[in-house]
C-alpha cells in the first residue's frame, strides 16, 4: 500500500515548478500568503496557484 504524498511534498513540487516557470522571481511564504518578488515588483496572494496566474497575466501585459 502506497501512502499519498504529504501536503508539504506537493507544495514543494508546485514551488519548484513556479520557480522554473518564472525565472528571476523569488517566491516565499509568510503568514499573509505567498509572495513573488522581482526587483521593486512584489505580488502577494493567498495561494501559490493564484500567484502563478497573476504572474502569467503580468508577463502577458508587460510583453503586450
Q: State the pLDDT at residue 32.
A: 86
Domain ranges of the chain: 24-63
DSSP assignment letter at 4? P
- The alpha helices in 1-64, defined as continuous H runs, are 7-21, 48-63
pTM higher than 0.85, yes or no?
no
Query: Are residues 22 and 55 in contact, defined by beta-carbon separation less than 8 angstroms?
Result: yes
DSSP assignment letter at 46? S
Collect all residues with Cβ–Cβ distance below 8 Å to 37 and sequence separation of at least 6.
Answer: 25, 26, 28, 43
Tens digit of each residue's pLDDT, the chain (64 residues) = 566 678 889 889 999 999 999 999 999 998 889 999 999 999 999 999 999 999 999 988 877 5
Residue whose grid cell is 518564472: 22
Q: State the pLDDT at residue 21.
A: 95
Amino acid at each position: 500500500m502506497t501512502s499519498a504524498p504529504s501536503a508539504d511534498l506537493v507544495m514543494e513540487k508546485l514551488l519548484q515548478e513556479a520557480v522554473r516557470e518564472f525565472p528571476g522571481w523569488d517566491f516565499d511564504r509568510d503568514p499573509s500568503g505567498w509572495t513573488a518578488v522581482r526587483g521593486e515588483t512584489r505580488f502577494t496572494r493567498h495561494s501559490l496557484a493564484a500567484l502563478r496566474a497573476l504572474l502569467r497575466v503580468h508577463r502577458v501585459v508587460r510583453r503586450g
